Amino acid sequence: QWMIEGEVERDPRGFDVSRFGDWTTPGYTVPKVIENYQMRFSVSYPNEERPAARPFRTTPMYETFDNMGAVWGQQYGLEVVNYFAKDDEPRYETPTFRRSNAFEA
């Protein structure tokens, strides 16, 4: 399709291995591959954060934000703050197709 029509129907970036940088070591990749294999027939929820190989890369502010109640997500192996939980809230987002506990945060 790409060679014949000059463009693709779907975005091929998910197949491009060059999107992974030097930070993708076996210590990150192997647990993520195992996790993805185990979860392949599971229901995926919006905003679901899977735990394998985490935290892998953090910023200098990680401990400060963690002490402030950060609920963490992961982008390209880097821990990022999704939102800050209140003192009486759980430090994770409940997987759901409706409004999660993050809605009130």
pLDDT digit string (tens) for 11-60? 877 777 777 778 788 998 899 999 999 999 999 888 899 999 999 999 99
Q: Are 47 and 30 within 8 A, CB to CB?
A: no
Q: CA 51 to CA 56: how far, in whole Å?
A: 10
Place of tokens 């229901």: 43
Position 2 scores a pLDDT of 72
The residues spanned by each domain of the chain are: 2-104
pTM (two decimals): 0.74
- What token pair was written down for 80? 């990022």
Q: How many CA atoms lie within 13 A of 95 on its CB side?
A: 7
Query: First vs last Cα of the chain: how many Å apart?
Result: 45
